[in-house]
Amino acid sequence: MNLDYPITYIKGVSVQRAALLYTELGIKTCNDLLNFYPFRYIDKTTFYAIKDLQPSTAEVQIVGKITRVKSVAQKRGSRLVATFQDATGTMELVWFKGQKWIKDALKINEPYVVYGKLNHYNGNFSIPHPDLELVKDYKKKLQSKMQPVYHSTEKLVNSGVSNKMIRGYVQNLIQQAFDIITESLSKDILEEYKLMPKREALLNAHFPKNQESLAKAQSRLKFEELFFIQLQLVRKKLINKTKIKGFVFENVGPIFNNFYSEKLPFDLTNAQKRVLKEIRKDVASAAHMNRLLQGDVGSGKTIVAILSMLLAIDNGYQATIMAPTEILANQHFTAVSELLEGLNVKVDILTGSVKTKKRREIHQNLEDGTLHILVGTHALLEDKVVFKNLGIAIIDEQHRFGVKQRAKLWAKNTLPPHILVMTATPIPRTLAMSVYGDLDISVIDELPPGRKEVKTVHRFDSNRLSVFKFMKDEIDKGRQVYLVYPLIEESEAMDYKDLMDGYESVAREFPSPKYQISIVHGKMKPADKEFEMQRFVKGETQIMVATTVIEVGVNVPNASVMIIESSERFGLSQLHQLRGRVGRGADQSYCILLSSYKLSEEAKTRLKTMVDTTDGFKIAEVDLKLRGPGNIMGTQQSGVLNLKIADVVKDSKILVAARNTAISVLQDDSNLSKEENLPIKQAYIKMTKSSKIWSNIS
């Protein structure tokens, strides 16, 4: 027996059942089944006597005999009814499905253990579709008073693969393979954290003796899972630092100094200075920089990016910024071009809409080195785009790019360029530790001076007229307003106001020529969208009615009001991003969250969080608790945290301990060659062979 064998090696698992378990639950090998943990347990510590049953009792377990079985006609079809009795009374067991094979399988006057949900009707008790087991079989099994319940699917249940059957397979596997389960942690770690041995932990995770054994087993297995993830991430980080060589930017030269002393539009905040210092230290060493820069909308990440690129240019290298959308790429291009005007730095932009003739010119200038900074979208990844010597690549809003796309940037050079990944979506510490554990992390945690906090309020639909009056007051002061809707077209299933309805009601309330309104949504042609956005940017329109296309990429300092319609439909990070569109000038800005009265508890939490705080990290922590890690990272990262038993939110203390342990193990023994680390090394090698995803993160 080997845990890598397919599950057909387990007693009772047919080829057909194995195929079903694989397609439905992803269980292919014995090891997969061993790590398929129950999501809850049925406590079977109590046996009831029939005379003691109460109508309020939910699930019961009784020992008795079946004395009679009959089929009873009903309006549609029939039901199978068995009379069940113990020494104190009688009751009924009832089946509506699978009656023929159940009837054939039932043994009259044999002692059974019966378990199920109790029904009470007209003074009589019954159990529909009970779990049945002969007492003699019950006594042979791995006896656990707490019975595991596993996740299943409709297809499995309809194919006859019940929870009882999966439980039987797991039991057979543990009995067959118990002796070959090897320890994967060192004695030192087991002793330090008082962890249960692996065999015992697996046994008690599936068939716990009691609550205490279950808690200890789960704690051990969670630690192990998080420890090996951290071991891979920390090891990858050490390899990046020591083995992958990076370009050395030795000089802080004239272009950087000239820009810093003459062109900077404002003094850097202490947070910006600290981050810049961290980046300078990275690029001045021979190691390859792989850094994540987190900062809220408007915290000044772009200036840090520009200064980082100027370090590269002063040392004879090129730089690039890659953004997920044309709007954002254009915004970066405009900002970089304006700030670097008058310096001897050539900047260009490459997106999908750049014409062929211009593309050829960009390609030529890149290859001969006359182009210093190239801003662009996915178009940068095309094979035709060849740099003479790319020194630094800056990736903005990185969660929108897949792993392979980022890897393509690496391949543009013989040596990989330094990588600076920027995000305005604050990532909670626990998640950053798990998903970006191989990157160094920098945080800009203060806003530039003079920025006022955006005042946020929640209003119900019935307050719409007072909201319109507030909009008029702000427009009279010379300000501009965003009005954002969640839908483009009316959905019959939902009674949310759609964009066109909204536009019409706003147009009635704000008639031309006194008021001018822009409208922008995803179904418009890019040129039309750009035209409307530019009208708003230039101040030709006072109101921008839009869908979430403006979530990323419009910078209008004069816009001081963000009104979000049907705000209960938006996720927290989206609400936070939208709010970040205002508050970019010196004026006091406002965010008004409009909603219906029908709010779920989760929607109430989201809206309250937005009103209570503008701190992106606090918002991200709440979002993580509400949505879980997989959803926050988006589809590109959804496979990254495919955890079997741990939860990065609930188990954050275990995560921190696991990471610290991984760091200390590798600092002491980077190749895991010491004898005491042999169990770790063997498990690590096995794991990295079967799991490719970790080598691709970041």
Question: What is the pLDDT confidence band of residue 206, given thresholds at 50, 70 and 90?
Answer: very high
Per DSSP bridges, beta strands 390-396 and 318-322 are parallel
Low-confidence winner among 62-66, 287-291, 617-621 (lowest mean pLDDT): 617-621
pLDDT at 594 over 80: yes
Same domain, 502 and 390: no
Question: What is the pLDDT confidence band of residue 396, given thresholds at 50, 70 and 90?
Answer: confident
Residue 30 lies in a domain: yes
pLDDT at 691 over 70: no
Question: What is the pLDDT confidence band of residue 602, given thresholds at 50, 70 and 90?
Answer: very high
Same domain, 379 and 470: no
Q: What is the pTM of this model?
A: 0.66
Residue 618 lies in a domain: no
Identify the H or E element spanning 291. strand 290-295
Same domain, 357 and 386: yes
Contacts of 86 (CB under 8 A, 6+ apart): 49, 50, 62, 63, 64, 65
Among 613, 628, 643, the domain boundary falls at: 613
Among 567, 591, 613, the domain boundary falls at: 613
* Separation CA 18–CA 10 (nearest Å): 10
Residue 597 lies in a domain: yes
pLDDT at 634 over 70: no
* Separation CA 367–CA 185 (nearest Å): 51
* Separation CA 372–CA 344 (nearest Å): 9
Same domain, 319 and 373: yes
Contacts of 394 (CB under 8 A, 6+ apart): 305, 308, 309, 319, 320, 321, 322, 420, 421, 422
Low-confidence winner among 70-84, 132-146, 220-234, 240-254 (lowest mean pLDDT): 132-146
Contact of 297 with 424, CB cutoff 8 Å: yes
pLDDT for res 693 = 42
pLDDT for res 370 = 95
Q: In 3-state terms, what secondary structure has residue 122? A: coil
Same domain, 16 and 65: no
pLDDT for res 445 = 82
Contacts of 234 (CB under 8 A, 6+ apart): 437, 438, 659, 662, 663, 666
216: which strand partners? none
Q: In 3-state terms, what secondary structure has residue 617? A: helix
Residue 243 lies in a domain: no
Residue 347 lies in a domain: yes
| Better-scored residue on pLDDT, 423 or 460 | 460
pLDDT for res 93 = 96
Per-residue pLDDT of 612-623, as tens digits, reads 998 887 888 888
Mean pLDDT confidence for 333-337: 92
* Separation CA 131–CA 117 (nearest Å): 10
Q: In 3-state terms, what secondary structure has residue 148? A: strand
Per-residue pLDDT of 465-513, as tens digits, reads 999 999 999 999 999 999 998 865 545 444 345 677 888 889 999 998 9
Mean pLDDT confidence for 209-219: 91
Contact of 386 with 366, CB cutoff 8 Å: yes
Low-confidence winner among 237-246, 588-597, 655-664 (lowest mean pLDDT): 237-246
* Separation CA 76–CA 493 (nearest Å): 33
Same domain, 268 and 398: yes
Residue 440 lies in a domain: no
Residue 689 lies in a domain: no
N residues, the chain: 698
Q: What percent of the chain has pLDDT over 70?
A: 91
Residue 193 lies in a domain: no
Same domain, 30 and 54: no
Same domain, 352 and 487: no
- Which residue type does 478 have? G
Same domain, 338 and 487: no
Per-residue pLDDT of 511-534, as tens digits, reads 989 999 998 877 778 788 888 888
* Separation CA 55–CA 53 (nearest Å): 7
pLDDT for res 143 = 60
| Better-scored residue on pLDDT, 574 or 282 | 282
Across all residues in the chain, what is the average pLDDT? 86
Same domain, 129 and 167: no
* Separation CA 479–CA 192 (nearest Å): 61
* Separation CA 582–CA 159 (nearest Å): 55
Same domain, 399 and 530: no
pLDDT for res 202 = 96
CATH classification of the domain holding 113: 2.40.50.140
**Number of domains within the chain:** 4
Among 120, 144, 168, the domain boundary falls at: 144
Q: Tokens for 690?
A: 């079967």
The parent domain of residue 31 ranges over: 1-39+146-181
pLDDT for res 690 = 65
Q: What percent of the chain has pLDDT over 90?
A: 53
| Better-scored residue on pLDDT, 501 or 106 | 106
Low-confidence winner among 358-367, 468-477, 567-576 (lowest mean pLDDT): 567-576
Q: Tokens for 106?
A: 């039932």
Same domain, 269 and 385: yes
Low-confidence winner among 402-406, 421-425, 581-585 (lowest mean pLDDT): 402-406
